[in-house]
Amino acid sequence: MTAGLHITKVVAGYGRIRVIDGMTLPAVPPGTVVGLLGANGSGKSTLLKTVAGLLSGRGDLRLDAHDLLRLPAAARARLIGYLPQTLMRPSSLLVYEALLSALRATSPELTRTQAETRIADVLEAMGIADLGMRALGALSGGQRQMVGLAQVLVRRPRLLLLDEPTSALDLRWQISVLDLVRKETRERGATALIAIHDINLALRFCDRIAILGDGLLASGPPRDVLTPDVLSRAFGVAARIETCSQGRLIVLTDGVSTPLGKTVGETP
Amino acid sequence: MSFAGTLTLGRAYARRTRGRALILFGLAVALMASLLFDMATGASNLPLATVLAGLWDPASVEVGVRVILWDVRLPQAIMAVLVGAALGLAGAEMQTVLANPLASPFTLGISNAATLGAAVAIVGGLHIPFVGAEWTVAATAFAFALAATLLVQALARTQDVGGGSENLILFGIAMVFALNALLWLVQFVASADALQQIVFWTMGSLGRSTWSTVGVLAVVVALCLPAALRHVWAMTVLRAGEEHARGLGIAVERLRMMVLLRVSLLAGVALSFVGTISFIGLVGPHIARLALGEDHRFYLPGAALAGATVLSLSSVVSKSLIPGLVLPVGIVTALVGIPLFVILILLQRRRT
């Protein structure tokens, strides 16, 4: 089996409700950022939770040489960095402690200096070093989301599973955070799976896009995958894909398609 | 850039850590002072010098003083410390695993179950084989506390949708009401004499302490504190959020079950010896959080020390409020605890 992430015939859900039923994703090579797109309830979070080990699933999940479903929870957690959709709780825990405790709980072999250096480096790279000694309860929602991501990055996982990592961030931070995630993923030869709602952000920062609907609707490089037809099937919208003056693709939505095939909303 | 960042942030945190260690030390000193005052206070006031002399060399003080000191004051004073530490630690652990700052041994009915157990033993005149009469009430109270914890957990586990701690708290609250109703039922059928004993038990008193009950509780605390400290990092991670912790490979459900069993042991044993003592399990953790933050390396011992100090001080107050009369310490903790709790909450609000 080649290196990277392999998701084959995965079945998962909550209780008796099956959200993912036999999903297979084309193999993801190391250094790749995959954007998971799809309507609400299409199974993006369920897939991430299943790979992370928060939900029990069946099928075949492999990361490099590791069979993720057979790995003990602690060993699996060392390979994976999962950022949940929910923000960190506003407690009196310091940002520094949120990162330190994550390192100590998963990698007890790190020396004090190693841990300190990693924490300082990641906060510096994210541009939030000034928050280090602040309590989580004294931060805004967006800042807590960034601390959550810092807690993932500080552990240097082989696989990053990020559930809407930019949902609480303003425009500037959305871009700088995703840029950092892409940089880290490429430099460390890791793999990132990012559930994201903003198609244009996904276009800009993801090497590949996987669109979930009733199963996997489409998967591949953004230019190949994002077509008006796929967007209509995934989201029920009428959309165009245009090229901007800098040569980048942008998706423009014109309206919402109704069951009668009509489009409502503004049309140019 | 990054090197300088490491130094400043690492140093800032090291400074914070040293400050916290100092606060822990200060709490320990305050506790020792309170313990000494507790031994000096009582129907016959002993000068501190006599207390110290009597403790250092029992033969150096007269027999009467020695008996008061070693057979009455010392076991009671140490019991106050141990019960306070047990309730403070239990409350702190519960607040973390239930993600609820209101959690204490009272929340899930552990304390109510202990009271019901004691009432049943008193009214039914229970005799447990191989258990001495003086231990029967305590043993029954503890058995009820443990049973209540297990029942609440079993109920919460039937809800497999990963509802986190909410189900646990809901079933716990239901348990509190059910246990109270059962307690009233027992009181309704109780004789006047038994009723008086139940009422006195529910007021909480250190007066029943003996060296053997002190020994049992000391063993329980000595076992539970290191067990709790083994999970400090997992517990600290949990404060940032349950899903974040689960993503780090922490078996949150198992951790929660272990903690609740430990809490029922700590609180069940403590309350079975001294009766109902409220608010220590709530105030101890809040003092610790305010003074030490939520790094559980400091927070858990801090909550135990703060609980012990508050109960020890309450014991001093209970003996000195009305000269010649010892109030049940449970009344004092509630009266002292409530204003203290309100002040703490106001302080916390102002901080964030």
Q: SS3 breakdown of chain A: % helix, strand, coil, rounded to 5?
A: 40, 30, 30
Tokens representing B222 are 């000595």
Nearest-5° angle of CA B292, CA B293, CA B294? 120
CB B303 within 8 A of CB B92: yes
Picking from A14, A87, A117, the nearest residue to B6 by CB comes out as A117
DSSP code, position A31:
T
Contact A82 B6 (CB under 8 A): no
Ordered domains of chain B (ranges, CATH):
78-351 (1.10.3470.10)
pLDDT tier at B139, thresholds 50, 70, 90: confident
Across the interface, which of B9, B13, B249 has its CB nearest the CB of A76?
B249
Give B305 to chain A, closest Cα distance, Å. 20
CB contact under 8 A, A87 and B241: yes
Average pLDDT taken over every residue of chain B: 88
What residues of chain B lie within 8 A of the CB of A161, using their CB? Answer: 247
The model carries a pTM of 0.90
CA distance A118 to chain B (A): 8
Separation between Cα atoms, residue A8 and residue A22, nearest integer Å: 8
Tokens standing for residue A12:
């998962």
Question: Distance from CA of residue A59 to its chain's centroid?
Answer: 21
Does B288 touch chain A if contact means CB atoms closer than 8 Å?
no
- CB < 8 Å to A83, chain B: 247
pLDDT, average across residues B261-288: 90
The whole-angstrom separation of Cα B113 and Cα B3 is 56
Tell me the per-residue pLDDT of B304-335, one tens digit each, with 9 for 90 and over: 999 999 999 999 999 988 888 888 898 898 88
d(CA B113, CA B100): 21
Quick check: A32 and A207 in contact, CB under 8 A?
A: yes
- Indicate yes or no: CB of A86 within 8 angstroms of CB of B239: no
**Would you say B209 and B76 are in contact if contact means Cβ atoms under 8 Å apart?**
yes
Mean pLDDT of chain A: 91
Residues in chain A where the model's pLDDT stays below 70: 1, 258-268
Using DSSP's 3-state secondary structure scheme, residue A194 falls into strand
One-letter amino acid for residue B290 of the chain: L
Q: What is the C-alpha to C-alpha distance for residues A20 and A194, in angstroms, rounded to an integer?
A: 17
Grade residue B160 by pLDDT with cuts at 50, 70 and 90: low
Distance from CA of B16 to the nearest CA of A (A): 9
